[in-house]
Amino acid sequence: MKYWTKEGVEKHLENFDREAAKKWTYAFNYYLDENNEFKEIEIAVFIVMEWLVPEKNYNIKGSAVRGTKRMQWFWDGLSALKDREEYGDVGDHSLISEDEAKEVLKTMGLNLDDAKTYLLNKFTEVNGYPPIMLPVDPGWEARRDAARKRSK
């Protein structure tokens, strides 16, 4: 794990190619957190905007929201996602399709498009330009299937 110092961040930002970053592609991925071993933990769906890293089997998570029935939308879901990943509850094995996410969210009374709009608007607000979004992450199914095979 790399620890960033103030000087390291400043150096990175000085050398960061902002024009190249405008050409990066992103996709939404959906993670189902259904570890309800304890009654207090409820089913959640994480909607994650991920930067698609060319020619790699992984993506870099950029931002996320979490939806649950009791709490509705939790707009800063990336920290919660990382906390859940530490316990192995949310990862590639829990990737679901957009249609599956819609169905689960529907039972919670949530609209998937609300989360997607929020993430797109926040990205544009922070970066000053909209992201290039692919309709589907071309690698999600392979990542999900490989992770599910490993977890059996």
Into how many domains does the chain fold? 1
Nearest one of 45, 113, 117 to 74, comparing CA atoms: 45
| CA 80 and chain centroid, separation | 11
Residues 89-102 have pLDDT tens digits of 788 889 999 999 99
SS3 82: helix
Determine, yes or no, domain membership for 101: yes
User: What pLDDT was estimated at residue 79?
Assistant: 85
- pTM of the model as a whole: 0.84
Q: List pLDDT tens digits, range 56-103.
A: 778 888 899 999 998 899 888 888 888 888 777 788 889 999 999 999
Residue 16 lies in a domain: no
Residue 6 lies in a domain: no
For residue 134, is it within any domain?
yes
Range of the domain at 48: 21-151
On whether residue 42 sits in a domain, the answer given is yes
